[in-house]
Amino acid sequence: MSKFAVGKDAYGISDRSGFRYRLRDMRQEWNGLLVGKDEWDPKHPQLEVVRHSADPEALRNPRPDPRKEPDVQVLLLLNPFRSGNAGSSVITVFEPSHGRSTSNIVIFRKTQAFDGFTKTVLEQAAGYTITVVDANSYTFTVTGETATIGGQQGGGANITAEKSAASGATAPTFDETSVTLDATNKTFDEA
């Protein structure tokens, strides 16, 4: 029973419409249905599974960008300044996760006067050298004005703080052949 009959006079019934066709004129579709020639549909291309390889993510021979991003102004919280004791010229600034370092220069803008400190002094064009207290606060010392009451919070609602370009400057480098020690000032001088 390994052979099938020729079936030249055989008929078949379409699985789609139920019409009768000559068996030799019928075609089988991709889904297994046996249909007449006029009913046959090819498989739609969207049903084909196309394998795509993953997009490459790594670059060959990458180089870091040597340029430094410019510092941006940071909007501080409402009334971020706190004055020291009465007569003190030290102001503490609350700036969560500031990421600043001691001796950075910070310039404040859009301040309001509070506890004896004027807007002009708080917005000094050269900025202020800061001393970091912790990750969320730092202090600076105002020249020429002091707190009248002390322990007051203020400064306003739209204060911005910007790191001065001078605070990002790097120290000059010396080559060892042209540097001498100045014993009187205890400094190194470049020849």
- One-letter amino acid at 168 equals G
State the distance between the two ends of the chain, measured CA to CA, in whole angstroms.
108
170 class by beta-carbon count within 10 Å (0-12 exposed, 13-18 middle, 19+ buried): exposed
DSSP 160: E
- Tell whether the model's pLDDT for residue 140 goes beyond 70: yes
pLDDT of residue 108: 93
| pLDDT greater than 80 at residue 187 | no
Question: 55 pLDDT exceeds 90?
Answer: no
The burial of 171, by beta-carbon neighbours within 10 Å (0-12 exposed, 13-18 middle, 19 or more buried), is given as exposed
Q: Tokens for 68?
A: 């430094």
Domain 74-167, classified CATH 2.40.30.20, yes or no: yes
Residue 174 pLDDT exceeds 50? no
Cα 29–chain centre separation: 54
Domain boundaries, the chain: 11-39, 74-167
Q: Which residue has the tokens 């049903």?
A: 47
Residue 139's pLDDT is 96
Q: Are 39 and 17 in contact (CB under 8 A)?
A: yes
